[in-house]
Amino acid sequence: MKRVLVLVPFPLDDEGIANRSAQTAEVLLRPDVSFEFQAVRAGPTSFVSPHDWILLALGIFEAGLNAEEDGFDAVVIDTVSDSGVDELRSMLDIPVVGPGRASLLFALTLGSRFGILAQWEPALARYRKVIPEWGLTDHCAAVGHFGTPPDFAALIAGKEEEILPRMEEACWRLIGAGSDVIVLGSTTMHQAHGYLAEVLPVPVINPGPVSYKLVEAMMSLGLAQSRRAHPRPLSPKPAMIRTMLEAAAAHEIGHG
Amino acid sequence: MTGEPRRVLVLVPFPMTSDQIALRAAQATEAGLPPGIELDYRSVRAAPSGYVSQHDYVLADVSILEAGLNAQDDGYDAVCVDTVSDSGTAALRSMLDIPVVAAGKSMYAVALMLGRTFGILSMWTRWFGLYERSLREVGLGAQCAGMRAIDVHPDNRNLLGGKEDEVLPRLLEAGIELIEEDGADVICLGSTTMHEAHGYLQERLPVPVINPGPLSYLVAEALTALDLTHSRASYPRPLVSKESMLVEMLGAAVRAEAEQDRPS
């Protein structure tokens, strides 16, 4: 049995983790691979500013540092921001997959241009940063949003009637702007995927489940990230990173 | 979620004997597919003799389109086209609702999930035109660090059979040049016919080496598991489909080939 560690980017309780791990039920997975969800120790409260991005990256980096020693065969990050992916890749030899870049590239195997459905206006800054960094500007037809603040623990549960029509409307705008494929802009939108895939006339990419299938394929083919693109540090500081996140977690308890 | 058996049709772009098909089918063991996936191999009825000119590309497109036209009616869940040229895939996508996997495009996309750039390692410089065609279509040419070939005339039916000692060290050398001189973070094998070289190269090169055939099978598996297929917005249906005309055309091509082969 191969074991995949899925890193959840916010320090959630068991119920919050369960809402995230429900993504594994949305796709047919191999019987010989298990997915184990684990949350970071500490992180930002929102995800709208470079302040938040750097804390999220460090939290995910720390949470995955020991994955190889703990016997995992691969790591997946449960955020389309791909926060912490490059950092973990510089330290680990097992495949590390972020659903963001992977979903956008995967979308290009199904259609010419993708549209990204973002949660709300403050989320747009992150996409404006990563799309050019990933060299995919020319392939992006539009980034749109449905104007609803995210709930990183409950996701959209209980608010479906209000939220789903707004998501659908935003997707139609993306299609009107020339999107051949819709990519959900966050793994927290996974509960809406079935509905959107049914009502929309173009493929809808559910980034979490897509990342699980891609990591399965990489393990099966013996592929992992290129060391040339992710060089090792001259002096790794895992103990320092661990201590920093322990201090962050203690700080949050003190201020909780 | 439980899995029904899923059937994938692999289209082989040259007419072949069953022994030659078996060499192609050996790729399946390199993919390590999960249970429940069945691969059937089917050759095209007629083909160009190689893929080196626009004359060849259009014949390849038509013959692969014809060979896959009935895949959905025949009960297949996905189609893979066993050539990095992606010949025929766009036309097949316009006709079928089941996923049609383009081995080249899928390889370039996955390469960029593993590194910033990729390089294409090939048998023959005369294949570069078909990579350029596919890269233009998927729009990822800017991330291609280079293409290198060893200029050994490829045998698309018997693959490396008997030439390993000559071919493998030269491929390794060209792979090192792609990495060290061109800056490739990932090596893409330029043909599914090179699959026999994959293990040798992966063992000796310091970056990931992608074996396009096995990858395409796993992409087909992923697409069927995710219930995803190509976008109709990118691959619109024809207003009038000419399936029976295509079948007649390939029948005529087969007759023309037989005529030419007949001793005079």
Write the pLDDT tens digit of every residue in B38-60.
999 999 999 998 888 888 999 99
Contact of B167 with B195, CB cutoff 8 Å = no
Q: Which amino acid is at B199?
A: G
DSSP calls for A211-223 = HHHHHHHHHHHT-
Give the residue with greater pLDDT, B176 vs A154.
Answer: B176
Among B113, B230, B231, beta carbon nearest to A101: B113
Query: According to the model, what pLDDT value does residue B149 have?
Result: 96
Dihedral (Cα; B190, B194, B200, B203), 10-degree rounding: 40
Mean pLDDT over A157-174 rounds to: 94
User: What local confidence, expressed as pLDDT, does residue B158 receive?
Assistant: 67
Domains and CATH numbers, chain A: 2-98+209-255 (3.40.50.1860), 100-207 (3.40.50.12500)
Least-confidence region, from A123-132, B19-28, B165-174: B19-28
> B50 — contact with chain A (CB < 8 Å)?
no
pLDDT, one tens digit per residue, over A17-55 is 998 999 899 899 999 999 999 999 999 988 889 889 999
pLDDT at A207: 97
Q: Which range (A72-81, A97-106, B161-170, B201-210) has the least confidence? A: B161-170
pLDDT > 90 in chain A, percent: 88
Q: Where are the domains of chain B?
A: 6-102+215-261, 104-211
Q: Select the highest-mean-pLDDT range: A99-103, B29-33, B136-140.
A: A99-103
Question: What are the helix (H) ranges across chain A?
Answer: 14-21, 50-64, 85-91, 99-107, 124-133, 160-176, 193-199, 207-221, 238-255
Instruction: Tell me what ipTM this predicted complex has.
Output: 0.86
Tokens of A253: 């308890």
Query: Does the domain made of B6-102+215-261 have the CATH classification 3.40.50.1860?
Result: yes
pLDDT band with cut points at 50, 70 and 90 for residue B1: very low
Report how far residue B74's alpha carbon sits from residue B78's, in angstroms, rounded to the nearest whole number.
Answer: 11
Determine contact: A28 vs chain B, CB below 8 A: yes
User: B141-150, B159-168, B194-203, B237-246: which range is least confident on average?
Assistant: B159-168
The pLDDT, as a whole number, for residue A153 is 80
Burial letters A16-27, b for 16+ CB under 10 A, else e: bbebbbebbebb
Average pLDDT of span B86-94? 96
Q: Does A102 touch chain B (CB under 8 A)?
A: yes
pLDDT above 50 (res B258): yes
Q: Are A145 and A170 in contact (CB under 8 A)?
A: yes
Report the alpha-carbon distance of residue B99 to residue B78 in Å, rounded. Answer: 5
Are B6-102+215-261 and B104-211 equal in CATH topology? yes
- The DSSP H or E segment spanning A5 is strand A2-8
Cα-based distances in Å from B137 to A111, A239, B98, B133, B140? 10, 47, 21, 6, 8
Q: Are strands A181-184 and A140-145 parallel, antiparallel or unpaired?
A: unpaired
Chain B residues in contact with A112 by the CB 8 A cut-off are 139, 231, 234
Neighbour order of strands in the sheet with A2-8? A33-39, A2-8, A74-77, A96-97
Whole-number pLDDT of residue A253: 87
How large is the average pLDDT for residues B205-221?
97
Asked if the C-beta of A8 comes within 8 angstroms of chain B's C-beta atoms, the answer is no
pLDDT, average across residues A229-251: 93
- Residue B119, CB half-sphere, CA atoms under 13 Å: how many? 26
Distance CA A116, CA A52 (A): 21
**What is the reported pLDDT for A114?**
98
- 3-state secondary structure at position A66: coil
Question: Would you list the DSSP string of A129-187?
Answer: HHHHHTT-GGGEEEEEE------TTTTTTT-HHHHHHHHHHHHHHHHHTT-SEEEES-G
Angle separating helix axes A50-64 and A238-255, nearest 10 degrees: 120
Q: Does A1 touch chain B (CB under 8 A)?
A: no
- The backbone torsions φ and ψ at residue A95, rounded to the nearest 5 degrees and listed phi first, read -60, 135
Confidence class for position A256, pLDDT limits 50, 70, 90: low
Residue indicated by tokens 């990931």: B208
Mean pLDDT (chain B, rounded)? 93
Asked if A209's CB is within 8 angstroms of B226's CB, the reply is yes
Contacts with A225 from chain B: Cβ below 8 Å: 114-115, 208
A109 contacts in chain B (CB < 8 Å)? 101-102, 105-106, 109, 138, 219
B104-211: what fold? Rossmann fold (3.40.50)
Is there a contact between B138 and A109 if contact means CB atoms under 8 Å apart? yes
pLDDT in tens, B142-173: 999 999 999 887 776 666 777 888 899 999 99
Q: Is the pLDDT of residue A209 over 90?
A: yes
| pLDDT attached to residue B18 | 87
Phi, psi of B124 (to 5 degrees): -145, 130
Query: Mean pLDDT, to the nearest integer, of B200-212?
Result: 97
CB within 8 A of B100, min separation 6: which ones? B68, B78, B79, B80, B81, B89, B92, B93, B230
DSSP for B31-56, please give it: HTPPTTEEEEEEE-SS--S-S-SHHH
DSSP bridge pairs for B12: B43
Q: With an 8 Å Cβ cutoff, are A29 and B202 in contact?
A: no
Percent of all residues in chain B with a pLDDT value above 90, rounded to a whole number: 79
Q: Looking at the DSSP assignment, which residues form a beta bridge with residue B188?
A: B120, B210
